[in-house]
Structure 1
Amino acid sequence: MTQINNKTLRGYETAKAEPDLVSLSRLADLYKVSTDWLITGFEFSGSGRSEEAEAEIGRLKDKLKAREQIIRGIRELVSE
């Protein structure tokens, strides 16, 4: 299937060895995932940002907006 012998695969699984680029590509093809996912655990979109990162950016922006509203409210109370 991958033309990678079992001893080598066991080395990858136990972190005693790391795959070269050709092996990494073969494993990605076999499991139908990207090499990005094999390396990082994240799938990257064409923009270079993963969906998980985009979601986290959205959550952080929402938190920032909420805190800005709180600060505005406090400033209004202090100025009264």
Structure 2
Amino acid sequence: MANLQRLLRQVFGYIRKNPGKANRHLHTVGETVKKRTGGRYNRQIDKATGAASRYLAKQSGRGGRGAPGKRDPRHRPDGHDRRRDR
């Protein structure tokens, strides 16, 4: 479990630093999955990649819902993560 958490931290760190590249990779993966499934799940794949793309837009402060650069409500101004206080 610790390895998975470390991997996810690395992935989200990469996404925060490189949202444009992450978005390109996301669409490449979506197209690959569409080809591998023979088009059976195109609607579901498009929905998932669209939601992930909106998330990446929020991370980069470009577009998405809400104000650009809006802080995650789970994070306190002092830098502590509320999820870790549990």
Is this a same-fold pair by TM over 0.5?
A: no
Report the structure number with the largest CA radius of gyration.
1
TM-score, normalised relative to structure 2: 0.26
